[in-house]
A and B are shown apart, each in its own frame.
Chain A
């Protein structure tokens, strides 16, 4: 009678001792988006002229993102969408422990209108959506 009780207690203790370790390893795989902005340019890993409107005269729109933590090397995507129509899907690599990255598009006259950039992981889970307009 004592052995089963002892075995049960041992298994219960082992479960509670192992649980934080597993949970910790799971949370350790989650990457965090700490900054996502639209800007006209980047300079030294920092966004320059954060804005929500781009004139086509400026020629470039940049989506700048900072991830922290980045537990392991992963891939994220910047989906550039013009009026609900996908325009570009840019694949970006993230490296531990912290990573800043950006994507950009060249602006043309036909790009005038509302845009959005969806920042997703490789499974399509959305981290954030940035909305901006391209004007004359």
Chain B
């Protein structure tokens, strides 16, 4: 109990936000994908994953391997097989409904327009076939549709099914508040128990309803009936209000009453609770799991340096940080997440002492700093000045024994460089890079670069890094 209270009291506000956000994301997934086949497969995969964890903890090696394989395969199956279903769920909703809306309602005014249009077509005995997809994908069942992408209006629906319109014979697919496709060909039902007065239009409506979770409305041009096909059922709907209710229910907007509504609320509360408990469990296992101590060697970074000065010496280049955190956090830590930055804005020319405090160290969330070695760093800065120095050739190798290098002159004789004042005050000569003697002719001209050591030195503008060497050799007097 004390441990539990300690855990709760150690939570920061960021941790609560962390858990809350992830729980909400999980709940959103549930709201968006409930009732889809992909969601059912996902639940199955999660159960298998728990089973695999149990198998691992019990030491069932082969079982855990097999289940792990099935879980991996399941993840691929969800993405590949249900890609259209996932796409439909996301496409059918606007951004607000993806992040906030808890019902899957479409625009109610669109439903009212559809009902009004269907009623008028029935009165005029104008045949029509309207498809309202559910959560299942219709792409493989519905064929030959012409993309329409038109906003719903009474005139639009009426004109699509006007007898002289070339697309009036097919079905119109309506999703949300848009007519997605027209002239779509639906699969025909093979049932032989249908009344003889039901023609091809009714068979098509039932055929699609049987194959998917879509709702199809057929308007008979002979009798002016409005028939709703859902599942394996064909139902004549005479009242506009009833048709509207059926459509609202199908779109998930209708107010459900009694046991059905209570059941749905309970399922939602259970999903919300599961999201919070699951996320909290994962959060505690990741951030408050078995503590791991690690020592990292982190390079020092310097910020806000006065541009007229440069760092000429530091007592250390790296600092050892002792860090503590859960094993999972420590293992997932990247080098760029751990940084030590020393603020040089108040530094002066000459030696400066900096203490490495918690404020100068950035760590990933959940990782605790236990120690810093060394905790004090000496940084020597110097003011930048220019100095002209003579250049001397740094010969290497050797000439043949009977030769001597009698003369060697450098052009230009001096080079101006920029560097720290304290450093340049001690420097009296610039040397070239190593110039080999082995390949020299009797006399000649070669070029060499000035060696800038330390590398912080820079050649001043107006001077050149490359110098020319004119040399003369001759035979040695024995």
Contact = CB atoms under 8 A, between A and B. Distances in A.
Contacts of B120: none
A87 to B, nearest CB: 14
Interface stretch (B9-17, B32-40, B374-382, B427-435): B427-435
Q: What's the dominant secondary structure at chain B's contact region?
A: strand
Contact of A51 (B390, B393, B405): B405
Interface stretch (A26-34, A63-71, A128-136): A128-136
A53 B392 contact: no
Contacts of B408: 52-53
Nearest to B408: A52
Nearest to B478: A49
Nearest to B471: A52
Interface in B417-433: 426-429, 431
Interface residues of B, number: 22
B261 to A, nearest CB: 91
A90 B326 CA distance: 69
Contacts, number: 56
Given A49-B476, A53-B437, A84-B426, A114 B393 contact: yes
B167 interface: no
B166 interface: no
B99 interface: no
B405 A114 contact: no
A51 B406 contact: yes
Interface in A2-38: none
Contacts of B429: 83-84, 114, 116
**Of residues A49, A53, A83, A116, which shows the largest number of chain B Cβ atoms within 10 Å of its Cβ?**
A53
A84 B430 CA distance: 10
Given A40-B404, A52-B406, A133 B426 contact: no
B428 A136 contact: no
Contacts of A48: 477
A135 B397 contact: yes
Interface residues of A, number: 18
B191 to A, nearest CB: 102
A133 B393 CA distance: 8
A107 to B, nearest CB: 13
B65 interface: no
B392 A136 contact: no
A100 interface: no
Q: What's the dominant secondary structure at chain A's contact region?
A: strand
B301 to A, nearest CB: 32
Interface string B435-468: 0010000000000000000000000000000000
Contacts of A135: 395-398, 437
A55 interface: yes
Nearest to B409: A52
Contacts of A116: 392, 429
B264 interface: no
Interface string A93-136: 00000000000000000000110100000000000010101011
B394 interface: yes
B399 interface: yes
A92 interface: no
Nearest to A134: B395
A74 interface: no
Contacts of B406: 50-52
Interface of A: 40, 48-53, 55, 83-84, 113-114, 116, 129, 131, 133, 135-136
The 4 closest A-B pairs by CB, nearest first: A133-B395, A51-B404, A53-B405, A131-B392
20 contacts: A40-B404, A49-B476, A49-B477, A50-B404, A52-B393, A52-B406, A52-B408, A53-B399, A53-B405, A55-B399, A84-B427, A84-B428, A114-B392, A114-B394, A114-B429, A116-B392, A131-B393, A133-B393, A135-B437, A136-B398
Given A49-B477, A55-B398, A83-B429, 12 more contacts: A40-B476, A50-B404, A51-B404, A51-B406, A52-B395, A53-B399, A53-B404, A113-B394, A114-B393, A114-B394, A116-B429, A133-B396
